[in-house]
Amino acid sequence: MTSRPTDDWRAWMAETAREVAAGTLDPECADSADLYPESLLRATDTALESFEVEVRALREPCDGAVLAAVERVVLELNAVDGDAGHGGAGFCTEEREQLCAYIDRTLVASGVDVDALAARQGIDPSAITDRWRDW
């Protein structure tokens, strides 16, 4: 299984906390708790875990089944990003790119040829999430 973007976000927060504790980073510059509140991390993990399970269950997947799985995770992530319960935190450019790359890697790890799928759909492989994505 490919590592989730939330793993990287948590690692970054831990490193930031270590730097603050060591005195090498001014606490004023350590806004990681605001950037990645636990509610955002948990909700994102839940969406990604559902996607992983769904994609692993696909046997000889047709384009429709793969795209349906992508649509579901993207719509779930739209809801996570738009949830005011995260204190205004959401997905910025870097997080968006990481989430899209994660979706692609998860598909590839499950045997989906993303380039061929995109070609059959007449889209760029990097745009596989675009028709549903708000974030």
CA 103, CA 133: separation in Å to the nearest integer?
Answer: 12
CA 108, CA 26: separation in Å to the nearest integer?
Answer: 41
CA 91, CA 9: separation in Å to the nearest integer?
Answer: 11
For the whole model, what pTM was predicted? 0.90
DSSP 31-80: -HHHHS-HHHHHHHHHHHHHHHHHHHH-SS--HHHHHHHHHHHHHHHHHH
Place of tokens 């990681």: 32
Structure tokens at 85: 């319960």
Residues 29-86: tens digit of each pLDDT: 776 657 899 999 999 999 999 999 999 999 888 999 999 999 999 999 999 999 999 9
27 pLDDT more than 90: no
pLDDT at 1: 64
Residues 90-120: tens digit of each pLDDT: 999 999 999 999 999 999 999 999 999 999 9
pLDDT at 79: 97
In what helix (H) or strand (E) does residue 119 lie, and over which residues does it extend? helix 114-121
pLDDT at 2: 80
pLDDT at 59: 84
Tell me, what amino acid is at 55? V
